[in-house]
Amino acid sequence: MTLTTPAPSIAPIAAKIPHSVTHHGITIADDYAWLRDPNYPEVTDPAILAHLEAENAWFKAKMAPRQPLVDCLFAEMRGRMQEADTSVPQKDGDWLYWVEYEAGAEYKKWWRRPVAGGADELLLDEVALAEGQEYFRLGALSVSKDGRLLAYATDDNGSERFTARIKIIATGEMLGDEIPDTLSALVWVAGDKGLVYSLANDNWRTDNARLHWLGRPVGEDVELYHEDDEGFRVSAGLSANEEWLIISSGDHETGEIRLIPAADPLALALLVRARVAGVEYDVDLHGETLFIHTNDDHENFRLATAPLATPGEWTTLIAGSDALYLTGFDLFRDFYVVEGRVRGLDQITLRWYDEPARVQPIVFPEASYDAGLAENPEWATDRLRLSYESMVSPATVYDYHIADARLEVLKVQEVPSGYDPALYTTERLEIAARDGVMVPVSVVMRRDRAVLNNAPAGPLHLYGYGAYGIAIAPGFSTARLSLVDRGFAYAIAHVRGGDDLGRAWYKAGKLAARNNTFTDFVEVAKGLIARGFTEAGRISISGGSAGGELMGAVINSDPELWGAVAAHVPFVDVLNTMLDADLPLTPGEWPEWGNPAEDAAAFALIRSYSPYDQVRGQNYPPLMVTAGLNDPRVTYWEPAKWVARLRELGTGDAELILKTNMGAGHGGKSGRFESLTETAEEFAFILTQLGVERVAG
């Protein structure tokens, strides 16, 4: 006889255990602090695990009636995915490289074949590596310069502590070298005899660059650089010509770089320029000339050059501009490429070393799009691989032929169940924020939306992030169609805190200006209502991580606007996290949020918007929350504590559910179809809350 556990009939109520902290003369009670396991990152406390499992049981019980809709949505989303799919091969030296999904496979296989002809070689089989694992993620992957060896790193629990391994490609034989706890690229140096990487320390911080000599014990690895500032992170890579090892250290607003000959990684490092607070820079080399991308004299960055012999003497090549936000550059043998944005629209321009006046912009076919350089590994090339998409145009791979300025379509994302772009329309709007600043909004919807809804207005989904200077591109999504085809308009609010409109846009949503992010989002929602897109209470919203903080802030400030809310791994216990210097990310986050332990003004500001601290006795909208037990970025207890406090203080009877992935981290489930299941659950929650459960139009 099989015994089944009956579904719970009431939501779990977390115990309240008195706890408080005092800073700047202010004492704050935190009765749910016990949900943080003192042995973290190990979570073994029986009471904590029991509470999380009880929340998961409640989530399962509340979602059970929606399971047919979840299954329907999953089938729709999976039907839009190419089950068997192959990337466009890319030449790198003597080889063509590509990745492939087999039909039904959750994970990829990595392949190559000789350019001169010959059999395909399987580099790495993620399917085999993931077999039997609840979670699997491939991190770094790097082929040695001679093409003989493959270094790769994997994570099997979502903790983002990867184990690096090395194999002989031709035979599949694994070398004895195994490096645990890496969190970095894997960089081949010294004629493929050495590998440079970074270890995650006990606090999950990469404060080092280390050299591993093949065949030697890991205990003999050499630390090439150690960073003493606990807020900085270290990374390493190669210059475009592969002659220099570039070791970078920095936080969210300050950087510093050292150069070491790749052939001699134990040589004395060359410091490009000593760090200056607030100055970021990155570099690459062409011959004896350094190219430097920096914000030292303009917040939108300039491009400068310097002699390798005197790397700190920077001369402007492209001046900083209020109009052009210079986001990066790539060097090639005969030319270089500058990437940027003008009013949020991607720009890609070619320039020549020996012809300074020669400027060749790449022109794309739509008025709003997301475009950028794809993988371009060869130093000498006559074409560029590009990626392109828009809110109505599926992802497209181009080769740009430089000689005749021609875009060649190599691949367009297939939608097997069918997709007709003519059915959809996209708009880029501007809506006034509270201080009069115009906030861009990207919207996509069906042209026949009024017919689908039997009314001019209808439901609307609004997405936002707004942190770390991360722009949210107006790209394509097949999953999104499950809302749009049911009459939703889908909007992205490009709120301050991202760098969608340049560096000033980012600065206007961080530190003391953080509240702009939240009020921008609210005013965008109200502006879309005023323009007839929807009505109050007919808006679903979603965001993850720092975007989950946004969700928490706006349901505190304007709960009546939202009909359903999805907050994924939400950063909601902001004050407590920023007070805790022992947490993995905290010191590096102070430039973004402020240091409330030392700064009374930062303490007061963060407390004023921290979603957990601002939960109050009011009606909250229906809310779905997700977490990852092994998440090192937003620790599991943040959403758990938040949900507990919402249950305690919130009024009304709106649904509140929490799902903690007990074997995953920040990104949720790892397989391509498993992740679709979680999206289907989110959309089913939204659709039922807004009363839109019909079959897609």
Active-site residue set: 545, 631, 666
Instruction: Provide the 10 A C-beta neighbour count for residue 110.
Output: 20
On whether the CB atoms of residues 159 and 141 are closer than 8 A, the answer is: no
Tokens 């390493």 locate to 236
CB-count exposure of residue 100 (10 Å: 0-12, 13-18, 19+): middle
Which of 72, 61, 130, 158 has its CA nearest to residue 676? 72
CA 199 – CA 589 distance, rounded (Å): 19
Which of 473, 489, 517 has its CA nearest to residue 609? 517
For residue 554, give the H/E element and its range.
helix 546-557
As a whole number of angstroms, the longest Cα–Cα distance in the chain is 82
Contact partners, residue 682, CB within 8 Å, separation at least 6: 542, 566, 624
On whether the CB atoms of residues 36 and 636 are closer than 8 A, the answer is: no
For residue 656, give the H/E element and its range.
strand 656-661
- Amino acid identity at 408: E
Look at the alpha carbons of 477, 480, 486, 487 in this order and tell me if their dihedral is positive or negative.
negative
Give me the phi and psi of 154, to 5 degrees please. Answer: -135, 155
Q: Which two tokens stand for residue 470?
A: 């991360």
Q: At what angle do helices 672-689 and 46-63 cross, to 10 degrees?
A: 60
On whether the CB atoms of residues 587 and 550 are closer than 8 A, the answer is: no
On whether the CB atoms of residues 509 and 497 are closer than 8 A, the answer is: yes
Give the pairing type, strands 539-544 and 562-568.
parallel
Which of 558, 570, 489 has its CA nearest to residue 521? 558
Instruction: Kindly report whether the peptide bond that precedes residue 46 is cis, defined as omega within 30 degrees of 0.
Output: no
* DSSP codes joined into one string, 120-168: -EEEEEHHHHHTT-S--EEEEEEE-TTS-EEEEEEESSSS--EEEEEEE
For residue 79, give the H/E element and its range.
helix 67-79
CA 513 – CA 509 distance, rounded (Å): 5
Tokens 């409109």 locate to 501
On whether the CB atoms of residues 271 and 258 are closer than 8 A, the answer is: yes
First-to-last C-alpha distance (Å) of the chain: 45
CA 220 – CA 211 distance, rounded (Å): 9
Instruction: Provide the 10 A C-beta neighbour count for residue 402.
Output: 17
